[in-house]
Structure 1
């Protein structure tokens, strides 16, 4: 495993986040976006999530370069889903296979539990996207379904794989409505 560190992302990381995400948009199925957003749009997305108290993490290589990131955001917009989050993990190709994704996702799970969220949902582009599926399995996610042929990218239909991780007490207890995690900083 290579040397890397994790930390909370800051707005100054946006150019690196954009570069990493651009690679995912143009060369992979982890996202169903077809055109990479520009830096201004990435900054808006970053501020929107972090401004609502959602966690956003980066991984830096030994030279201090951001090579991967992960964040949690709302799973769905309806209020009843407010205790559930969707995770996203993106990496530069050269960062893959070094344990960085696993470390990022494990830390993201920890932070989401600390914030009081109860479920984390992975929405994985491609039933053939084994690296992402295996990453989520390593962290403890369970398969909950496949939405067949739900995306169309690179001239082909792509399945969407859904996986779920129970955060903290999950559905075993009622949430503390006063501590709604989406409004915590």
Structure 2
């Protein structure tokens, strides 16, 4: 595990865009461009937000995790939303667990207090279980707030307090 570098962004874009095109775990419908990823990278870096990658011994990016501001209003500055995405060949091997553990650790070090996970209510059972295993508690559900692949989708909100 290490901090993301600008040179990692094409690989991160590839991982993320796979999920955009093939799943409902993200509600994005359009692939993110490299420019959009660069903007996000520099913004999160400026905000002091953890953004990490898991790297194979050969140097291949296997997955990534980040936190980003929950809302733009200043009073929310200690609350973040997390995102974890794995390359298709890296799922089911405990890598998501390692990324989330490191992300929580770095979020505490950064002085953050609350992490929110917004997870699709369909097709994301592994993510829900992972977050619950780390002490995230369900705080709400929103039904039919997204429409992708010709069907309505809801979200499950989970929260963890960092002490």
TM-score of the aligned structures, taking structure 2 as reference length: 0.96
Aligned mate of 1:30, from 11, 25, 28: 25
User: 1:29·1:126 contact (CA, 8 Å) conserved in 2?
Assistant: no
Partner of 1:130: 125
Aligned mate of 1:91, from 83, 86, 95: 86
Partner of 1:49: 44
Measured in 2, the distance between the counterparts of 1:139 and 1:62 equals 27
State the secondary structure of the residue aligned to 1:35. coil
Partner of 1:17: 12
CA-CA distance at 1:126 after TM superposition: 2.4
1:115-126 matched pairs, under 5 angstroms: 115-126=110-121
User: 1:127·1:161 contact (CA, 8 Å) conserved in 2?
Assistant: no
CA-CA distance at 1:95 after TM superposition: 0.6
Measured in 1, the distance between the counterparts of 2:138 and 2:48 equals 27
Partner of 1:102: 97
Measured in 1, the distance between the counterparts of 2:123 and 2:91 equals 17
Measured in 1, the distance between the counterparts of 2:147 and 2:23 equals 12
What do residues 108-165 of structure 1 show as CA deviations (whole Å, max 9, x unaligned)? Answer: 1111111111100001122441011011112211111110111111111111110001
In structure 1, runs of 5+ residues without a counterpart are 1-5, 169-185
Partner of 1:177: none
Partner of 1:68: 63
Is the aligned partner of 1:146 residue 2:145? no
**RMSD between superposed Cα atoms in Å:** 1.0
State the secondary structure of the residue aligned to 1:25. helix
Q: How many residues align?
A: 163
Measured in 1, the distance between the counterparts of 2:74 and 2:48 equals 16
Kindly name which structure, 1 or 2, has the bigger radius of gyration based on alpha carbons. 1
User: 1:102·1:138 contact (CA, 8 Å) conserved in 2?
Assistant: no
Structure 1 residue runs of 4 or more that deviate by more than 6 Å after TM superposition: none
State the secondary structure of the residue aligned to 2:10. helix
TM-score of the aligned structures, taking structure 1 as reference length: 0.85
